[in-house]
Structure 1
Amino acid sequence: MLNPGKDRIDYGEKLRPPAGYTLSYALATSYSLELDTLLAVPLALSFNSTLDDAEKIIGEKLVLLEGIHQLKGRIKVFFQQGNIKLPDTSNKLYSLLEHCLVPMVPEGPFSSFHPKIWLLRFVNDAKDVQYRLIVLSRNLTFDRSWDLACTLEGRDSGKITQENDGLIALLGDLAPCAKDFSTAFRLFKKELPNVMWDKPTGFQSLKTLYGRKGQVPLEYGLGTDTVLVISPFIHREALAMLKERGTRHWLFSRGDELERIGEEDLQGWECFALNDRLINGEDELEKAKQQNLHAKLVLLQNGRTCHWHIGSANATKAALGDRKQASPRNTEFMLRMSGSAQNGSAEKLREELVGTEKKPAGIFIPYVFGSYLPDEQSESEEVSRKLLHALISVDWNVVATHDGDELYTVTVSYPDSLPLYSATIDVRPLIIGHSQPLQNVMVWERLHLTQISAFLILTVSTPEGNVEQRVIKASLDIDGGDDREQKIFSSMIDKPGKLLWYIQMILQPNAEKMEWLAAEKNMQLSGEEETALSTVFDGPIYESLLRCASRQPEKLARIESVLTHSSALNAQMPKTFNMLWAHYRAFLGNI
């Protein structure tokens, strides 16, 4: 069920490849994201690590640089344009994430690109394929809110199944937006119709449901006697539509949302709010964050059968439409799991979340209404949403022109015209300190290659004093080619000793996160090539090279790439290493 004490999911653990498998391709969707969270993903996918302490190690770390490189061309993340959180600090590695991010622009200012999934394809040495589907209510952030997730493992069943119809439809709409990921999409299209998922305990069947304009991401079935809804954001119209089904209606939401809708419009719903003690549980910590409700679930029960809908959709008009046949506006994704009410009934879930009169669970508590606020959206909020949608809809372009002496002139432009608004809008690239007023063409001069970014910060200031900042991703063209990875690598590996440590780590058969962090510490303590060479060759370096040549030749290709990126250091490398590597460089032609 959903017992927070024992049914917790470690996000990073669910991204780790199964034993004996490696990642082939990964696809994710998210409404919003944090660049630091995306930087941490390689810790799980490339280094078989959890993300339990990822926030503590984010920065310009070599383990992150290597992880990003290993995933290049194998991961795509689709997100709503403009919904990248502005980072607290700058990081040169952010620019290396640009290749995996695909911005999606919703159809209108009051619709959203909102699905939250991971689709992972793994392979082993025998070329066996295993899939994993993670359906979440959480965005790709370090947020600590209460969320729901379901992880499914799948393999080729040898027959056509309808389980993935909704997933395949979503992927079909995403594919034209990432043509450089076409090989992965072709494999998904070929293999997913035959993939059958292992069912969670208590469930006998499942479906994937794709929500889009005119298509509700729920399947109601033949009848309903009980409706249980968990949703952080709610609209009275969507709730009225759900209330038409069944005779018992239980609603779990945020207290401020329940108050906003009001007791009168929630007649017929038994309402519960997340306990304030859980929301503010970190108040005494130095970097406290609220832990509010963000989970989404619609449970429809009919006698002895229950249908759980888990995923991205809130109980709102934009996600579900309403009883007046208004069409949903959002792009959503839900997983529908059906089973016996004996194991997954609404009654059991309610008791788990609320408890009994004698033994309350302390997670959700019955909500007591006070005076409620009107539900009308303010005119200024509507104007703000229209302006932001106009800003993310234009075709933003960044062009970097080489000026000589390793300096560039960066021109940011957009060919479209924007509607007239009373707000003031300033623009600046993510890694550059000064902003400029919005114009069709804006220029920044004398920038170094590592300061160039496809990420732009838009600052919108209204006459009422409201300030909102959005990070968008623009198209980027760099005169002479994009050598930022090589430049960043050279700035982080600036001594021969550090380079030798780095090569040593690449040669490790299954180096994990903590080994990389320890090696980086050694690099800082020992920058002399003699010391590093002695340490490297005290270990089984010859055996490691021989093993890689026979079992992991791609690692030899990676070492050659590293040496190419650090060409400025090659003349300073010890002759012993250069002589040894010359033999293995000849082997690369056979890979």
Structure 2
Amino acid sequence: MLAPDTRRVLLEALKPPEGFRIDRAIATTYTLDLMAMLTAPLAFSLFDGIGGKADASSSAEASEHLNPFALLKAVRAHAERTTVFCQSTRISAPPRYQRLLAYLEDSVVEVNAPSEGGVFHPKLWALRLVGSDGEVKYRVLCLSRNLTFDPSWDTALVLDGDLADRQRAFSANRPLADFFRALPSLAVRPPPQRVLDDVARIASELERVRFELPLPFEELRFHPLGLPGYTRHPLETAPRTLIVSPFVTAPALEELAEGGILVSRMDELAKLPPESLAPFEVHVLHDGAEMLEFGDTGEAPARGGEDSPPPSGLHAKLFVQDEGWNAHVWTGSANATSAAFHQNVEFLVQLTGKKSQVGIDALLDGRQGEPGLRALLASWTPPDKPAEEDSSAKALEERLRVARSQLGRVTWIAEVTEGPDGFATRLRSEGPVVIPADLTVSVWPISLPRDTFARPLESHAGHAGVDFAARSFEALTAFFAFSLITTVGDQRAEAVFVVTAVLQNAPANRAARILQSMLDDPAKVLRFLRMLLASDPLDILEGLAGLEMTGADPAGLGTGAGAGAEVPLLEAMIRTLDRDPARLDAIHQVVQDLLSNEEGRRLLPDGFLAAWEPLWAARKSLTGEVAA
């Protein structure tokens, strides 16, 4: 079980072993936060820099990894080698736009489940790792966690393995390879050739990876669900089962177990008939565990049943069954619902070990002095009255579900036209779209504010489209937000999501121009210098957000408007001088690069060198070494 502050745990799980770099990454998720996705290539770039620093023969060589242009180029390079497959129309609209999101446009592949009514729900990562000598390793993460910032309780399994020098596949790995091999066939639109090549390579190599078994387990099995050839779920009905699932349905409980221990959410348990819960010892997370949330998602609790995961609280999925002296643990994306086991695309990993170490009682009560899951639980008391279903709310929910499903199965084309006033965009559906009369649909590029730039989606000859007037180069994006609003009686409901369009006729040098625009004035350069002192990818995201703005304090030393919004650069440099003076070498390298030409000198505002030069002299004096 992961603590709610899981972003740190996940990023640590993505960090490659010493001496290795991340060559390719493929991830799957149900819901996707684009800013959360951006942390992956950011983290990969930092890992490169940290590894380079450890291996570098000089601090000058190490600081090259943290040169601003080098870092941004590394982010772009890693983004182009990272692919995320997610359920169509389940990309959330970011609260603010970040220009680096343009690097993700060809790395997001929207997919749908083959089964009618099912969703694409797995949370799986495959990292291809390459050593300095060319050795290849793999890391597979099987999660219950989506690629979002939701502060929820989740599970994570990390599997490492070496690519074996053999031609024949390990038969146990074939289901894992088949899962990745099938992903492009689920896509709404054909993925780019780069994605097809990466998937083919990773799927082929995964068949020949010798995975290390995590102790104390003795056997490992992979179980994709909902794909051709993998439609039967791996669990048998057992007399006693431990089920941890945020979403539950009565038929699934009956199918999975005759009884046992059930851990779920209060709101979900209240929906179930009492007779379905009678065979189980029922628990929820206790109040203290539910309140352990590090940050606010800024969103109301998600609605819409299993399709809309909760932003906080229990989100882990775990099934444990004892069998003789052994016990089996299944972990991954599947909830204890009929949809999970019979309609959705899911992924579970089965681990087998001794019952005394990994069985139901061992997990609940702990072993060898370690606390067990029971320490987080409280007994559930049924409400006096059964939960009443709001028929109007359910009708609204179903109407939005059907509409977004229809819109999510269409390929969207964004045609760009360059003119004297900038770049105009025409968004259109490639296939026919029917907009129900009881639905209001508006669209806007995520790079522009909704209040000003949202436009109604119009229907012409069975196709849907909307025109956006000419805007700046920086506003070009393949990501478009859709708002669906419908009413039943006096109740109103809205769904907001992002789709990825095929961007046509965009400037050929767009990626390079985005990089240049990130550092085109003194205020942005100084914010970048402040960002170089951060070590957490989320802190770096905040710094990158600053590159989208200009301020009244171009030196960034904390004297101008907005200085309180982040730690001023001067204060950050003084603190770094005291705690980790070698990190100032990266800023020195940037300063030297900027001073080497007239354009660079223009980007260093008056007042910065007067503050910097004494700090740099102190850095050399305090460490007693010749700094880069």
- TM-score bracket relative to the smaller structure: 0.7 to 0.9
Letter in 2 for 1:491: S
Matches within 5 A, 1:186-585: 186-212=200-226, 215-216=230-231, 218-220=233-235, 224-244=238-258, 248-282=259-293, 291-320=312-341, 328-352=342-366, 361-370=374-383, 371-373=385-387, 378-404=394-420, 407-415=422-430, 416-418=432-434, 420-433=436-449, 434-439=453-458, 440-464=464-488, 465-481=492-508, 483=510, 485-494=511-520, 524-525=555-556, 569=599
In structure 2, the CA distance between the partners of 1:287 and 1:87, relative to structure 1 (3 Å rule), is: closer
SS of the residue corresponding to residue 48 of structure 1 reads helix
Residue 23 of structure 1 deviates from its aligned partner by 1.1
Tell me the matched-pair count.
512
Match of 2:155 among 132, 144, 148: 148
In structure 2, the CA distance between the partners of 1:456 and 1:568, relative to structure 1 (3 Å rule), is: farther
Residue 466 of structure 1 deviates from its aligned partner by 1.2
Residue 90 of structure 1 deviates from its aligned partner by 2.4
Contact 1:42 1:64 in 2 (8 A): no
Contact 2:41 2:76 in 1 (8 A): no
In structure 2, the CA distance between the partners of 1:129 and 1:296, relative to structure 1 (3 Å rule), is: same
Q: Give CA-to-partner distance per residue, 1:134-184, whole Å, 9 cap, x none.
A: 000000011110000000111134563223222111111124553322332
Letter in 2 for 1:292: G
In structure 2, the CA distance between the partners of 1:421 and 1:235, relative to structure 1 (3 Å rule), is: farther
Whole-Å Cα distance in 1 between the matches of residues 399 and 350 of structure 2? 36
In structure 2, the CA distance between the partners of 1:568 and 1:253, relative to structure 1 (3 Å rule), is: farther
Contact 1:427 1:436 in 2 (8 A): yes
1:95 match: 102
SS of the residue corresponding to residue 260 of structure 1 reads coil
Residue 281 of structure 1 deviates from its aligned partner by 3.9
SS of the residue corresponding to residue 174 of structure 1 reads helix
In structure 2, the CA distance between the partners of 1:494 and 1:467, relative to structure 1 (3 Å rule), is: same
Contact 2:326 2:355 in 1 (8 A): yes
Whole-Å Cα distance in 2 between the matches of residues 35 and 515 of structure 1? 15
Contact 2:34 2:101 in 1 (8 A): yes
Moved more, 490-499 or 334-343: 490-499
Residue 28 of structure 1 deviates from its aligned partner by 0.4
SS of the residue corresponding to residue 261 of structure 1 reads coil
Contact 2:45 2:71 in 1 (8 A): no
In structure 2, the CA distance between the partners of 1:524 and 1:133, relative to structure 1 (3 Å rule), is: farther
Whole-Å Cα distance in 1 between the matches of residues 541 and 8 of structure 2? 25
Residue 24 (structure 1) aligned with residue 23 (structure 2): yes
Whole-Å Cα distance in 2 between the matches of residues 29 and 336 of structure 1? 19
SS of the residue corresponding to residue 474 of structure 2 reads helix
Structure 2 gap ranges (5+): 50-67, 302-310, 459-463, 548-552, 558-583, 605-628
1:79 match: 86
Whole-Å Cα distance in 2 between the matches of residues 166 and 476 of structure 1? 35
SS of the residue corresponding to residue 224 of structure 2 reads strand
Residue 512 of structure 1 deviates from its aligned partner by 8.9
Whole-Å Cα distance in 2 between the matches of residues 436 and 182 of structure 1? 34
In structure 2, the CA distance between the partners of 1:523 and 1:113, relative to structure 1 (3 Å rule), is: farther
Whole-Å Cα distance in 2 between the matches of residues 282 and 516 of structure 1? 21
1:551 match: none
Residue 496 of structure 1 deviates from its aligned partner by 8.9
Residue 500 of structure 1 deviates from its aligned partner by 12
SS of the residue corresponding to residue 123 of structure 1 reads strand
Residue 365 of structure 1 deviates from its aligned partner by 1.2
Q: Give CA-to-partner distance per residue, 1:303-351, whole Å, 9 cap, x none.
A: 211111110000111111xxxxxxx111111111111112101112122
Residue 498 of structure 1 deviates from its aligned partner by 8.0
Whole-Å Cα distance in 2 between the matches of residues 517 and 312 of structure 1? 30
Letter in 1 for 2:379: P
In structure 2, the CA distance between the partners of 1:260 and 1:518, relative to structure 1 (3 Å rule), is: closer
In structure 2, the CA distance between the partners of 1:197 and 1:524, relative to structure 1 (3 Å rule), is: farther
In structure 2, the CA distance between the partners of 1:285 and 1:208, relative to structure 1 (3 Å rule), is: closer
In structure 2, the CA distance between the partners of 1:192 and 1:287, relative to structure 1 (3 Å rule), is: closer
Letter in 2 for 1:402: E
Whole-Å Cα distance in 1 between the matches of residues 212 and 37 of structure 2? 28
Whole-Å Cα distance in 1 between the matches of residues 201 and 416 of structure 2? 35
Query: What's the TM-score, normalizing by structure 1?
Result: 0.76
Letter in 2 for 1:347: D
Whole-Å Cα distance in 2 between the matches of residues 459 and 112 of structure 1? 20
Residue 110 of structure 1 deviates from its aligned partner by 2.8
Letter in 1 for 2:14: L
Contact 1:261 1:374 in 2 (8 A): no
Residue 172 (structure 1) aligned with residue 181 (structure 2): yes
- Percent of aligned pairs with the same residue? 26
Matches within 5 A, 1:19-58: 19-48=18-47
In structure 2, the CA distance between the partners of 1:49 and 1:147, relative to structure 1 (3 Å rule), is: farther
In structure 2, the CA distance between the partners of 1:8 and 1:367, relative to structure 1 (3 Å rule), is: farther
Q: RMSD value over aligned CA atoms? A: 4.2
Contact 1:227 1:250 in 2 (8 A): yes
Whole-Å Cα distance in 1 between the matches of residues 22 and 90 of structure 2? 27
Whole-Å Cα distance in 2 between the matches of residues 7 and 463 of structure 1? 37
Whole-Å Cα distance in 1 between the matches of residues 255 and 20 of structure 2? 45
Letter in 1 for 2:356: Q
Contact 1:73 1:181 in 2 (8 A): no
Whole-Å Cα distance in 2 between the matches of residues 426 and 62 of structure 1? 37
Whole-Å Cα distance in 1 between the matches of residues 522 and 440 of structure 2? 50
SS of the residue corresponding to residue 253 of structure 2 reads helix
Residue 299 of structure 1 deviates from its aligned partner by 1.3
Whole-Å Cα distance in 2 between the matches of residues 240 and 163 of structure 1? 29
Q: Give CA-to-partner distance per residue, 1:532-559, whole Å, 9 cap, x none.
A: xxxxxxx999xx9xxxxxxxxxxxxxx9
Q: Give CA-to-partner distance per residue, 1:89-132, whole Å, 9 cap, x none.
A: 22222222212111113346731111101100111121101100
Query: What's the TM-score, normalizing by structure 2?
Result: 0.72
Whole-Å Cα distance in 2 between the matches of residues 141 and 5 of structure 1? 12
Residue 261 of structure 1 deviates from its aligned partner by 0.7
Whole-Å Cα distance in 1 between the matches of residues 390 and 585 of structure 2? 70
SS of the residue corresponding to residue 10 of structure 1 reads helix
Residue 469 of structure 1 deviates from its aligned partner by 1.0
Contact 1:162 1:207 in 2 (8 A): no
Letter in 2 for 1:78: F
In structure 2, the CA distance between the partners of 1:128 and 1:418, relative to structure 1 (3 Å rule), is: same
Whole-Å Cα distance in 1 between the matches of residues 326 and 153 of structure 2? 27
Contact 2:523 2:555 in 1 (8 A): no
